Amino acid sequence: MSRKSILSTLIGATAVATLMLSGCGDSGGESPNAGLLDGAELTAGSKEFTESVVLSQITSKALEDAGASIEDQTGISGSATVREALESDEVDFYWDYTGTGWVNILGHTTKDAPKDLFKAVSEADAKNGIAWLEPAPFENTYRIAVKNDFAEKNGLKTMSDAAKFIGAHKDQAKVCAASEFINRDDGLPGLEKAYGFEFADVVELDLNLVYPQVGEKCQFGEVFSTDARIKANDMTVLEDDKDFFVQYQGAMTLRQETLDEYPEIAKIMAPISKKLTNEVVMELNGRVDTEGEMPEDVAQEWLEDQELIGG
């Protein structure tokens, strides 16, 4: 059950006082959602990679702007772990992906994924008491990438090209990947089966270490399609020409009981989600991964620039 603040009256009074004081000076812009979540106490979760953390920070800043108190529990390792945290009321929300929902949470395969994957996932997961808010337009799917010069030298444009190359060059068939991708049915095992090949060696690394090690420890590497480090590390993403990877559209997930108690969350998040395109998400990821900014600062600045929260 979502937690209601026993200090809601005090918090509400403080919020009113703050608004009165801000009205006496230059506040930099009033919040479009001021007071909608006064008294709410929520815990933010996320997976461990940059994009997931940034998305939860964006959500946290937006809900705080509406009056909620947010505890930060972002950076949980592994999809199964953060999902368990959501189900057990350890966190109240995090962003997930339709492909993960279909395969890893609901137990389907990549082959039986329907065309309208979001509808199928959200309707099926509703039976588990989990709500999926309307998805953002960005899609962040798994891909395999190589260095630009390696791709050009060996004529690698697609995964089918890679499968043929790997079959003929076992001495150049190492892949760097994170633990989750190595073990997921919609990750490495399924990919190798779909294309009829097998990497000669799999080097397990923290995901953040994969990008700089492609071209060093490994010829191939697991990447996320919206990760700015693809461009920063001069990498070519191989086309999934057999459409093995299912759609990984991002959406905020939360328990239905939380949404029932605070339906304003959906109203607050709707205009934010609509603005999260592939280009926007890649830029935000890049500000953290290649420019060294903190996720919470990136989230705050972007929301203010878009006039989605008060300045």
pLDDT in tens, 122-158: 999 999 999 999 999 999 999 999 999 999 999 999 9
Catalogue the E-assigned strands of the chain: 41-45, 69-73, 93-97, 130-132, 142-147, 174-177, 201-204, 220-224, 235-237, 250-255
Least confident of 64-78, 100-114, 188-202: 100-114
Of 95, 94, 86, 101, the closest CA to residue 138 belongs to 95
Place of tokens 């590497």: 221
Q: According to the model, what pLDDT value does residue 30 have?
A: 79
| Residue 184 banded pLDDT, cuts 50, 70, 90 | confident
Q: At 4, list the tokens.
A: 């209601």
Count the Cβ atoms, other than its own, within 10 Å of residue 114.
13
- Please give the Cα distance from 2 to 256 (Å, whole number): 10
* Whole-angstrom distance, CA of residue 92 vs CA of residue 151: 43
Domains 8-139+250-305 and 142-237 are alike in CATH topology: yes
Strand (E) positions, 125-197? 130-132, 142-147, 174-177
Rounded to whole angstroms, the Cα distance separating 69 from 134 reads 23
H/E element, 92 = none
**Which of 109-113, 157-161, 232-236, 289-293 shows the lowest per-residue confidence on average (mean pLDDT)?**
109-113
With 0-12 CB in 10 A as exposed, 13-18 as middle and 19+ as buried, what is 28?
Answer: exposed
Q: Is the pLDDT of residue 232 over 80?
A: yes
> Which residues are registered as beta bridge partners of 96?
251
Domain 8-139+250-305: homologous superfamily in CATH: Periplasmic binding protein-like II (3.40.190.10)
Residue-level pLDDT at 133: 98
Token pair recorded at residue 194: 């779909």
Residue with tokens 């709707």: 270
- The domains of the chain are located at 8-139+250-305, 142-237
Backbone angle region of 218, left / alpha / beta, with phi > 0 → left and psi within -120 to 50 → alpha? beta
DSSP class of residue 109 equals -
Enter the CATH code of domain 142-237: 3.40.190.120
Query: Across residues 87-116, what is the average pLDDT?
Result: 94
- How many residues belong to the chain? 311
Q: What are the φ/ψ torsions at residue 98 (nearest 5 degrees)?
A: -60, -40
β-pairing, 174-177 with 220-224? Answer: parallel
Q: Is 119 helix (H, G, I), strand (E, B) or coil?
A: helix
Query: How far apart are the C-alpha atoms of 69 and 54, rounded to whole Å?
Result: 18
**Rounded mean pLDDT of the chain?**
90
Of 288, 284, 299, give the one whose Cα is nearest residue 70: 299
Long-range Cβ pairs for the range 184-187 (8 Å, 24+): 184/103, 184/104, 185/103, 185/104, 185/109, 185/110, 186/99, 186/100, 186/103, 186/104, 186/110, 186/142, 186/245, 186/246, 187/142, 187/222
Which pLDDT tens digit goes with each residue over 15-64?
Answer: 333 333 233 333 356 788 999 999 999 999 999 999 999 999 999 999 99
Tell me how far the alpha carbon of residue 162 is from its chain's centroid.
27
The 10s digit of each residue's pLDDT in 239-272 is 999 999 989 999 999 999 999 999 999 999 999 9
